[in-house]
Amino acid sequence: MTKIFLNDIAHGRSGDKGDTSNVCVYARKPEYYKIIEREVTPEALHAHFGDMVKGEIIRYDVPSLGGFNFVMKHALGGGATMSLRLDSLGKSMGSAVMRMKINVTDEELAEINNV
């Protein structure tokens, strides 16, 4: 097992609805989908963010697009209008998700490094 950044195998985008942050995460190659499915669970993501995300995290799987949609509630310090954060719209929440460390097996790592 090796730890890598989710960023090494995924891409996506963050948006906001009030205090809810919405981050879609796609596998950079179809074979990485199963790694994301296994590693980036709502629980793991909550552990990654700690109290920065105060509400529930829901993951919606969209295999036909090779991706996932993460909906994180009470995640933007009150949302666009009220947040005191520099990034009140959570534009950088996408890269904050990509910063998560995930476990990959030696075979998976070899596959990733083979690119």
Task: Return the residues of window 39-98 that contact another protein according to CB under 8 A.
Answer: 48-52, 58, 60, 62, 64-67, 69, 71, 73, 77-82, 84-87, 91-92, 94-96, 98
φ, ψ for residue 100 (rounded to 5)? -60, 140
**Tokens 């799987």, residue located:** 61
Q: Give the DSSP letter of residue 67.
A: E
Give the residue, chosen from 6, 35, 40, 100, that forms a contact with another protein under the rule CB under 8 A.
100
How big is the site for another protein, counted in residues (CB under 8 A)? Answer: 46
Query: 98 or 106: whose CB is closer to another protein?
Result: 98
- CB-based contacts of 2: which residues, under 8 Å, 6+ apart? 103, 104, 106, 109
The token pair at 20 is 């809810």
Least CB distance to another protein at residue 105 (A): 24
**For residue 72, which amino acid is it?**
M
Q: What is d(CA 18, CA 39) in angstroms, rounded to the nearest whole number?
A: 28
Query: 1 or 30: whose CB is closer to another protein?
Result: 30
- Give the closest residue to 24 by CA, choosing from 43, 8, 38, 40: 40
Residues making contact with another protein (CB under 8 A): 11-13, 15-20, 22, 24, 26, 28, 48-52, 58, 60, 62, 64-67, 69, 71, 73, 77-82, 84-87, 91-92, 94-96, 98-100
